[in-house]
Structure 1
């Protein structure tokens, strides 16, 4: 990781914190994606160390997801917050609910009864209730079939979490939805179950976007240079020239420069591929002469 990334300011996060984020939850991000992720985290106030936000790279695209802890914290900071409740309904539970109409004409769900014993059986649904002062409780009720597709997610870690920790993930999903709706929490996050997540873009964050675009442009130029056959050949020729200098016993930069000036006669500041190619042939001749001389001296000895 570059020093610029390591030292990128972020609230109370230390340099070591940012390095830890880069090497753990953001290990699949390239440098540009990591800059963008940290910019989003900073803009939203979500702390990656506290698992309030995390990145995912899917098919080369960055998606950013906000954890349930971030929703809970932001809800608590909202005026009128009175808490929330989340429960899963199992096939052996007794569960009844109905809808009521509020004075403003909007309907809301009311849980009449939810009781259970053991064994509870498989999970068949769930609900989360968000409480806000001056408002009727906001309830989200979901059938288990609505989240089963998460287990088939094309995103590896997402599929693993929903398969191995289904109950916990279902509760978190319900809580997110309830708090998001009840307290107007909008982070433009990508829902964990989206099969084809879109790349996250920071709205009106020109400073972050400019950095990302500049880095992406520089990376693109580097890739173009690396993909250019002529540039590749030039690098290989220079590497070969360095090896031959070692065979000739020429190791000082000044002596190398003098040798190149004498035998390659470069027209520019640096020898071209054609000039180096010609020089390599001359170097082969000098290496052969040196080896022949060494062999002659061995015979005389």
Structure 2
């Protein structure tokens, strides 16, 4: 490795991650990346503060396309750094367990899940469901409950690694999956929304990562500079499609698919049956496919960060 490359990698060192650590990442989990892809991956890792040595973030390249995923350890660490963090719990519900739950409504009119009873003996039987509870000061315990049916498709995946991990380590993978969902929702860990600036190119043409700032959702008065023609009202279907396209764009950026040509190539490879004017159902299917690719990143490091 040349001194010039070492100097470039030095710029990606942060926190406890040294220049030599960056080289190690390049030669191990980053070995399938080309140079531009690796620099993009390290830019994302540095700006997010996610340490690849600790399996908090990792890359994968499939069909020449880079995907980047945050690991469960990163979500746990970021949750712990959040004000009011009080811990979390994750459990699987087996067919012979005694289990009851119900919903309640808080003073703001929002529903939340309450686990009334969960007890078990020595012979528990098959896993039927699972739940993760995130505890945060000032709010009701936030619970995510999922049945096995909701994740069973992972075991039938046509992707070899995904099918292997969910088949051989189903309990651990299921626990990680629901824990990640609970922590993301309870502690507002919306790493999906972090953006890759399309107009900020590095010296070798790769797109440098820029974190997206938190959006202010407070209603603001409308400022009108000049009279405008009335805008046509969108139908409900058009509104759904617009919302889905926005979500798809954000998810694609998370896995490094940026730019019209790259998006078209991704759709051609992964959703070749989509027509020129996709329906709501087709857009929804594409979004679910992208989310599956995102979840695959977590699976690739399952041996290193399986929950106890």
TM-score above 0.5? yes
Instruction: Go from structure 1 to structure 2 and tell me whether the alpha carbon gap of 1:167 and 1:211 turns closer, same or farther (over 3 Å shift).
Output: farther
Larger deviation, residues 25-34 vs 82-91: 25-34
Match runs of 1:185-200 below 5 Å:
185-188=189-192
TM normalised by structure 2 equals 0.61
Q: Which residue, 3, 12, 16 being the options, matches 1:9?
A: 12
4+ long deviations beyond 6 Å: none
CA distance in structure 1 between the partners assigned to 2:158 and 2:195 by the alignment:
24
CA distance in structure 2 between the partners assigned to 1:170 and 1:182 by the alignment:
19
Match runs of 1:1-301 below 5 Å:
3-4=4-5, 6-11=9-14, 12-188=16-192, 202-204=195-197, 209-211=201-203, 213=205
Any idea what SS the aligned residue of 1:65 has?
Answer: strand
Give the CA deviation at 1:50.
Answer: 0.5
CA contact (8 A) 1:130 1:182 kept: yes
Give the CA deviation at 1:22.
Answer: 1.5
Listed as ranges, the gaps of 5+ residues in structure 1 are 190-200, 216-301
Give the CA deviation at 1:119.
Answer: 1.8
CA distance in structure 1 between the partners assigned to 2:115 and 2:35 by the alignment:
48
Instruction: Go from structure 1 to structure 2 and tell me whether the alpha carbon gap of 1:39 and 1:206 turns closer, same or farther (over 3 Å shift).
Output: farther
CA contact (8 A) 2:39 2:206 kept: no
Instruction: Go from structure 1 to structure 2 and tell me whether the alpha carbon gap of 1:176 and 1:52 turns closer, same or farther (over 3 Å shift).
Output: same
CA contact (8 A) 2:132 2:144 kept: yes
CA contact (8 A) 1:52 1:67 kept: yes
CA distance in structure 1 between the partners assigned to 2:44 and 2:129 by the alignment:
33
Any idea what SS the aligned residue of 1:203 has?
Answer: strand
Instruction: Provide Cα deviations, 1:87-118, integer angstroms capped at 9, x if missing partner.
Output: 01111111110000111000000101111112
CA distance in structure 1 between the partners assigned to 2:206 and 2:130 by the alignment:
46
Instruction: Provide Cα deviations, 1:25-82, integer angstroms capped at 9, x if missing partner.
Output: 2222111111111110001110000000111222221111111110111011111111
Give the CA deviation at 1:206.
Answer: 5.7
CA distance in structure 2 between the partners assigned to 1:140 and 1:212 by the alignment:
43
Instruction: Provide Cα deviations, 1:8-29, integer angstroms capped at 9, x if missing partner.
Output: 4320322221122122222221
CA contact (8 A) 1:35 1:212 kept: no
CA contact (8 A) 1:58 1:155 kept: no
CA distance in structure 2 between the partners assigned to 1:7 and 1:98 by the alignment:
53
Instruction: Provide Cα deviations, 1:218-258, integer angstroms capped at 9, x if missing partner.
Output: xxxxxxxxxxxxxxxxxxxxxxxxxxxxxxxxxxxxxxxxx
Any idea what SS the aligned residue of 2:163 has?
Answer: helix
TM normalised by structure 1 equals 0.63
CA contact (8 A) 2:90 2:130 kept: yes
Q: Which has the higher contact order (CA 8 A, sep 6+)?
A: 2
Give the CA deviation at 1:214.
Answer: 5.5
Aligned length: 203
Give the CA deviation at 1:179.
Answer: 0.6
* Backbone CA RMSD of aligned residues: 2.1
Give the CA deviation at 1:160.
Answer: 2.6
